[in-house]
C-alpha cells in the first residue's frame, strides 16, 4: 500500500467510524504527511508497512533540529501512533513501530546557544564566492540579528522590510504581526543577496514578494535553511547541534546578557507570555554564577 492510499483510508476511518471533526481529521492526516515528506526528502523508499522505529526516531530528531517544540512533537507522535494503530487494526501491519517511542517531555529546558565568537566562526565559514553562500550568509545574519523563527524567515516579504528605518514586519504564530529591528550587517548582506543573486532568478508566480527564494525561484523551504546551517556548522568545526532555532536562542540570550529589558526581548521574539521569555534569564543567571565562582574571593 502506498502512502497516499494509506493516509486516505486512515482519514476515512477517522471521519466515518470515529466521527472526528474535519479539523481533527485534517490534523491527523497532516502529522502523517510530515513523516512521509521526511522520507521523500531523505530519499528513503519505505512503504507504510516498512516503517521502522529507527526511521520514526530519526524523524522526531529532525523535528527537534528544526525547532519544533516538545508539545508540538508530542502531538505529531500522537497522530503517528493513531495511524499505525489503524494499520494494525486493518491487518496491514504486524508490529507497531511506535510502541517503544515516548513523547518528548514538555517541561521547560535551557536552549542550546552559541557564544558570540562561535557566531563569528559560523559566519566566517561561509563561501561568499558562490550564490548559495551569499544567500546563506544573508539568512544567518537575519536569523541572528532579529531572532526570527525559520518559518518567519521563509515567509519574509520584501514589502515588509523598511531598510531605511532598520525594521521589518514579521508574520508570526497565529498570524500575529510584529515589528522587529534588523542590524546593519544583516541589512548589508541581505541587500547583497537581493541584488547579486535574487535579482537574477527566474521568479515563479506567487513568489515575487518573498525575500528569500530557492535557486529555482520558488519559496525557500525550512528544510533547505536547516540543511545549509548544518553544512556550515560542520565546515566551521562547531561540535554543537546547530539549527535555525539556535540562532534565535542566541539572539535572545546575548540581548539578556547585555542587559536588555525582558519585555523588549519578549516583543521582538513574538512571545505571547513573558514566562516564555523568562527562560533566557536562567541562561543569564548561569553566566552570573560563573562570574561569582571565578572572581569572588569567598566563592
**pLDDT score at 180:** 94
Question: Residue 258: pLDDT above 90?
Answer: no
Is residue 76, in this structure, part of any structural domain at all? yes
Interval 130-135 mean pLDDT: 97
Give the C-alpha separation, 217 to 204, whole Å. Answer: 5
Q: Are residues 18 and 130 in the same domain?
A: no
**What's the rounded Cα separation, in Å, for the pair 72 and 32?**
13
Q: What is the extent of the structural domain holding 129?
A: 116-294
- Higher pLDDT pick, 113 / 127: 127
User: Model's pTM, two decimal places?
Assistant: 0.64
Active site (annotated) includes residue 245: yes
Assess whether 248 carries a catalytic annotation.
yes
Between 271 and 126, the higher pLDDT residue: 126
Average pLDDT over residues 119-124: 96
Least-confidence region, from 41-45, 85-89, 99-103, 142-146: 99-103
215 and 172 share one domain: yes
Catalytic residue, from 13, 28, 144, 280: name it: 280
**What is the pLDDT, as a whole number, of residue 43?**
87
Q: Are residues 237 and 164 in the same domain?
A: yes
Residue 68 banded pLDDT, cuts 50, 70, 90: confident
* Least confident range of 16-25, 182-191, 240-249, 273-282: 273-282
Catalytic residue among 173, 184, 240, 289: 173
Of 81, 135, 245, 254, the catalytic one is 245
User: Quick count: other Cβ atoms within 10 Å of Cβ 253?
Assistant: 25
Q: Is 282 part of the annotated catalytic residue set? A: no
Non-local (6+) Cβ contacts of 6 within 8 A are 48, 83, 87, 92
Do residues 139 and 255 share a domain?
yes
pLDDT of residue 291: 64
Cα separation, 14 vs 89, in Å, equals 13
- pLDDT at 100 (0 to 100): 84
**pLDDT above 90 coverage of the chain, percent:** 66
Q: Both 233 and 127 in a single domain?
A: yes
**Quick one: pLDDT at residue 159?**
97
- pLDDT band at 109; cut points 50, 70, 90: low
Average pLDDT over residues 102-126: 82
Other beta carbons within 10 Å of 215: 13
Are 153 and 269 contained in the same domain?
Answer: yes
Rounded Cα gap, residues 230 and 208, in angstroms? 28
CB 257 within 8 A of CB 287: yes
Q: Which is higher by pLDDT, 289 or 68?
A: 68
Query: How is 48-86 classified by DSSP, letter by letter?
Result: GGG--HHHHHHHHHHHHHTT--HHHHHHHHHHHHHHHHH
Whether 287 is a known active-site residue: answer no
| β strands within 76-133, DSSP E | none
Q: Are residues 40 and 168 in the same domain?
A: no
- Range of 96-110, 143-157, 166-180 with top mean pLDDT: 143-157
Please report, for the chain, how many H helices and E strands are present, in that order: 13, 3
Contact assessment for residue 208 and residue 217, using Cβ atoms and an 8 Å cutoff: no
- Structural domain includes residue 111: no
Mean confidence (pLDDT) of the chain: 89
Q: For residue 173, indicate whether it is catalytic.
A: yes
- The enclosing domain of 83 has a CATH number of 1.10.150.130
Between residues 128 and 278, the one the model is more confident about: 128
Q: What CATH number does the domain containing 255 carry? A: 1.10.443.10
Q: Provide the pLDDT confidence category of residue 28 given band limits of 50, 70 and 90.
A: very high
Would you say residue 288 has pLDDT above 80?
A: no
Bridge partner residues of 161 (DSSP): 168
Is the pLDDT reported for residue 90 higher than 60? yes
Tell me the CA end-to-end span of the chain in Å, nearest whole number. 65
Q: Exposed, middle or buried by CB within 10 Å (0-12, 13-18, 19+), for 173?
A: exposed
Q: Facing residues of 181 across strands?
A: 167
Residue 97 lies inside a defined structural domain of this protein: no
Q: Which residue has the higher pLDDT, 20 or 294?
A: 20
pLDDT at residue number 292? 64
Cα–chain-centroid distance for residue 226?
7
For residues 142 and 223, membership in a common domain is answered with yes
Q: 286: which 3 cell numbers?
A: 548561569
The CA radius of gyration of the chain, in Å to the nearest whole number, is 22
List 162's β-bridge partners, or say none: 167
Do 42 and 180 lie in one domain? The reply is no
218: its cell numbers? 520558488
Q: Which of 137, 149, 189, 249 is catalytic?
A: 149
Q: Pick the catalytic residue from 178, 231, 271, 282.
A: 271
Amino acid at each position: 500500500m502506498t502512502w497516499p492510499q494509506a493516509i486516505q483510508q486512515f482519514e476515512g476511518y477517522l471521519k466515518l467510524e470515529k466521527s472526528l471533526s474535519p479539523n481533527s481529521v485534517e490534523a491527523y492526516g497532516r502529522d502523517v504527511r510530515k513523516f512521509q515528506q521526511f522520507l521523500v526528502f531523505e530519499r528513503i523508499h519505505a512503504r507504510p508497512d516498512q516503517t521502522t522505529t529507527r526511521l520514526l526516531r530519526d524523524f522526531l530528531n529532525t523535528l527537534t533540529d528544526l525547532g519544533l517544540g516538545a508539545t508540538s512533537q508530542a502531538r505529531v507522535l500522537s497522530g503517528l501512533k493513531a495511524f499505525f494503530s489503524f494499520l494494525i487494526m486493518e491487518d496491514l501491519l504486524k508490529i507497531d513501530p511506535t510502541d517503544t517511542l515516548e513523547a518528548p517531555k514538555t517541561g521547560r529546558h535551557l536552549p542550546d546557544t552559541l557564544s558570540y565568537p562561535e557566531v563569528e566562526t559560523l559566519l566566517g565559514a561561509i563561501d561568499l564566492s558562490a550564490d548559495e553562500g551569499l544567500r546563506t550568509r544573508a539568512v544567518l545574519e537575519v536569523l541572528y540579528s532579529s531572532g526570527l523563527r525559520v518559518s518567519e524567515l521563509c515567509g519574509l516579504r520584501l514589502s515588509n522590510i523598511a531598510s531605511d528605518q532598520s525594521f521589518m514586519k514579521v508574520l508570526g504564530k497565529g498570524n500575529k504581526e510584529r515589528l522587529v529591528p534588523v542590524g546593519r550587517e544583516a541589512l548589508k548582506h541581505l541587500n547583497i543577496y537581493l541584488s547579486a543573486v535574487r535579482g537574477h532568478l527566474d521568479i515563479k508566480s506567487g513568489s515575487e514578494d518573498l525575500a528569500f527564494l530557492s535557486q529555482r525561484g520558488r519559496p525557500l523551504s525550512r528544510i533547505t535553511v536547516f540543511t545549509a546551517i548544518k553544512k556550515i556548522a560542520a565546515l566551521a568545526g562547531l561540535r554543537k547541534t546547530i539549527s535555525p532555532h539556535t540562532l534565535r536562542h542566541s539572539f535572545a540570550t546575548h540581548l539578556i546578557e547585555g542587559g536588555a529589558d525582558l519585555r523588549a526581548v519578549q516583543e521582538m521574539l513574538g512571545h505571547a507570555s513573558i514566562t516564555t521569555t523568562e527562560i533566557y534569564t536562567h541562561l543569564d543567571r548561569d553566566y552570573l554564577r560563573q562570574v561569582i565562582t571565578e572572581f569572588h574571593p569567598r566563592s
